[in-house]
Amino acid sequence: TLRRLMAAPIGPWDLLVGKTLSALLWLAISTLVCLLYGLAWGAHIAWDPLNPAHLLVPIIMLMGALMMIGLGLLISMVAKTSKGASGLATAIGWPLMFLTNIWMPAWLLPEGLRWFATHFPLAMAIEAARQVLVFGAGLEAILPVMPWLVLFTAIFYGLGALAYKLVLRRSL
């Protein structure tokens, strides 16, 4: 599929930006559907646009999304086929759902995994959002996480873009 994409009348960086925006759009739609579903079932969503911590939650979620898009770029550049990329993404994604405290709290994990589950930047972002939106925490829950998110988002997405560039060079 990379050869077909390269034959398209767009530049390689246009393709990268397009894939990123497409992933972010799907994420926004998924988020909206989940929020509407939760509201339909009576969930209370604590959102105060005057609270600075609440305004930073979408930013940390965006950085987390870009970090994982970068990981997806790395996976797609390593895999030989789309099925291989899908399998590899699943093999990485499912453990990350446990290790980022989405399905279970970190304290239920074995000690070695617990460290990862509390120090992985995406887990830190999810926990900060949970603290703010569920438990009413303020900026003290988000500000310590921001530098790590910026750093790791730049690393993951940067490595993904670099891998993309290297694969493009090899394929030409």
- List, for residues 3-59, the tens digit of each pLDDT value: 666 666 667 677 778 888 998 999 999 989 998 999 999 988 778 888 999 999 999
In a domain, 133, yes or no: yes
| Domain-embedded: residue 146 | yes
- Full-model pTM: 0.81
User: What total of structural domains would you count in the chain?
Assistant: 1
Q: Which domain holds residue 166?
A: 47-171
Per-residue pLDDT band at 135 (split at 50, 70, 90): confident
At 155 the pLDDT is: 93
On whether residue 33 sits in a domain, the answer given is no
Does 55 map to a domain?
Answer: yes
Q: How far is CA 18 from CA 12, 22, 24, 35, 157, in A?
A: 10, 6, 10, 25, 14
Predicted confidence (pLDDT) at residue 1 exceeds the cutoff of 60? no
If one counts every other C-beta atom within 10 angstroms of the C-beta of residue 120, the result is: 19
Residue 39 belongs to a domain: no
Q: Quick one: pLDDT at residue 54?
A: 92
Average pLDDT, integer, range 123-127: 90
